[in-house]
Structure 1
Amino acid sequence: MATHGNRGTPEGLELLPDPARPGGWTLLVDGVPQSYVDVADPEHLAFGYVELIARSVRARRSVPGRILHLGGGAMTVPRLAARWWPGVAQTVVEINGELMDLVLREIPPAFPVELVAGDARQVVGTTPDRSYDVIVVDVFDGAAMPAHLGTVEFARELRRVLRPDGLAVINVTDVPPMAFTRIQVATVAAVFGETGTALLGENDVLRGRRAGNLIMLAGAIPSLRVRRGERLLREGELVVFSSGARPRTDAKA
């Protein structure tokens, strides 16, 4: 495997420069694009789901003091948060140490950030109560969320670590008929309640017409302006969406 500009790149990892943007880089894992970042312009977002995450985080009424990112990638969202809120304290948890080493070597962040190598659930489990204003969950094992991050027990841990007005932003990828997402909605709503749970995404994905990413919101749901072709499902609409789905527990994961 050859990578442009990367020396000693671990097998399966590539960090490729964007020929169209001097500061643009794409992180690939086993040949699949996982992250895109423009180090010169963090507000340039190439992936639609990242734009949804970013909009959700920025829609909070108050400036966050501390943000926890579960899943590091190329640190696209942490770079964006540092641009919006200079001085915000950020922690990035990434289980793949080789991935983090590659990103830090080739495109290191120009802002202070705490990096933690480890499993997202284990790290959250040892985090004190009410530690973070925002938690971004963007963790995948291949193309799927790890099973132990999609349970009622983990949702309880997220709620415990969030501050009272905090927000968890969870990236979910699914295929028609969106059975996994329906279960995840039921799981999160079992902990955060119907008023503390929402689902944001493109209409075609929400309706099960095609595969894609959806963003679950949990906690203090901000007021979000949806764009053309998008929907934000809350309360009654969300109950209808997840109708028949049962929350997943550790015993069933």
Structure 2
Amino acid sequence: MPDALRFDRDPGRPNLLHLVYDEVVQATVDLDDPSYLDAEYMQRIAYLVDAAAEPKRPLRVLHLGAGGLAMARYVAATRPGSYQQAVETNEELIELVRAEAPLPRGVKVKIRRTDAREAIESAPDASYELIITDVYDGARVPAHVTSTEFLHGANRVLRPGGHYAVNLCDGGQMKFLKPALAAMQEVWPQVAVMAEPAVLRGRRFGNVVAAASGAELPIAQLRRRCAGAAFPCRVVEGTELREYIAGAPPATDATAIKSPPPPKSLRSF
């Protein structure tokens, strides 16, 4: 495999693998503990996974962006028997994961090599209870997974009461984030974000996890988990979120942009 895409073993824990692409750590996989999530944004997505249904109940989950399958491993460990499909365009990444970070015995995740947009367009109506979008082109979120057209497609694929989660990143003037959130608000009546205040204010580049649903989101559970995390963050929703977006136009296929590149000094985010 070329140096641009590789797994680095953690010096202190050989079975802790860091997926590195263009010298940015994009995922961490613990071969000994599939429920372990190193990245803070993945932990926040896991808060929604935990609150999406009663404990241990299997879910039907579509992962747009396979990465190292860290989130799929978490779902399998905490909700045994879940049906999961992962979508990834990078064949090299798929083969790397299969060779160096294979799934635990008994864990089945169907991996499709296709684009997230194509996967949504070809999926049957109401076929998943949870869609997790964690799509990157290098270290940037592609424009086409933030538009209202794409999100309407995702909503069609969700079952009634299902949940949508997406990992976004931005900094500075939030020209990428706010239109992406506005597009989510145009599609779903319930939208919330989990992020550190410094990131939301644009003072620091970082991840923002957004969740949406046609039904009520588990806001109380998300607030409790975010407040009690090792690195606490805020949950912003309702009027506060609308004021934060402050009239930004919803991203569309015609207007959506990629997320900005992370600072060169930032090796992970």
Q: Does 1:82 align with 2:76?
A: yes
SS in 2 for 1:186: helix
Instruction: Give the number of aligned pairs.
Output: 243
Q: In structure 2, what is the Cα distance between the partners aligned to 1:118 and 1:244? A: 34
Aligned positions of 1:101-250 closer than 5 A: 101-110=95-104, 111-193=107-189, 196-219=190-213, 220=215, 221-223=217-219, 224=222, 225=224, 226-227=226-227, 229-250=232-253
Q: Deviations over 1:11-56 (max 9, x none)?
A: 5211111121132001111221111010111233221111111112
TM-score (norm 1): 0.92
Q: In structure 2, what is the Cα distance between the partners aligned to 1:109 and 1:43? A: 12
Question: In 1, are the aligned partners of 2:58 and 2:81 still within 8 Å (CA)?
Answer: no
Larger CA deviation: 137-146 vs 72-81: 137-146
Q: In structure 2, what is the Cα distance between the partners aligned to 1:144 and 1:244? A: 24
SS in 2 for 1:115: strand
Question: In 1, are the aligned partners of 2:170 and 2:176 still within 8 Å (CA)?
Answer: yes
Q: Using CA pairs under 8 Å that are at least 6 residues apart, name the structure with larger relative contact order, 1 or 2.
A: 2
Question: In 1, are the aligned partners of 2:35 and 2:78 still within 8 Å (CA)?
Answer: no
Residue 208 of structure 1 and its aligned partner are, at CA, apart by: 2.1
1:67 aligns with 61
Q: 2:29 aligns with which of 25, 32, 37?
A: 37
1:251 aligns with 254
SS in 1 for 2:247: coil
SS in 2 for 1:45: coil
Flag structure 2 segments of 5+ consecutive residues without an equivalent: 257-269
Q: In structure 1, what is the Cα distance between the partners aligned to 2:64 and 2:58? A: 16
SS in 2 for 1:83: helix
The amino acid of 2:76's aligned partner reads: A
Question: In 2, are the aligned partners of 1:57 and 1:169 still within 8 Å (CA)?
Answer: no
1:4 aligns with none
TM-score (norm 2): 0.86
Q: Deviations over 1:230-250 (max 9, x none)?
A: 211111001001012001111
Percentage identity across paired residues of the two chains: 40
Q: In structure 2, what is the Cα distance between the partners aligned to 1:208 and 1:11? A: 32
Aligned-residue CA RMSD (Å): 1.4
What stretches of structure 1 move > 4 A for 4+ residues in a row? none
Aligned positions of 1:89-108 closer than 5 A: 89-108=83-102
The amino acid of 2:111's aligned partner reads: L
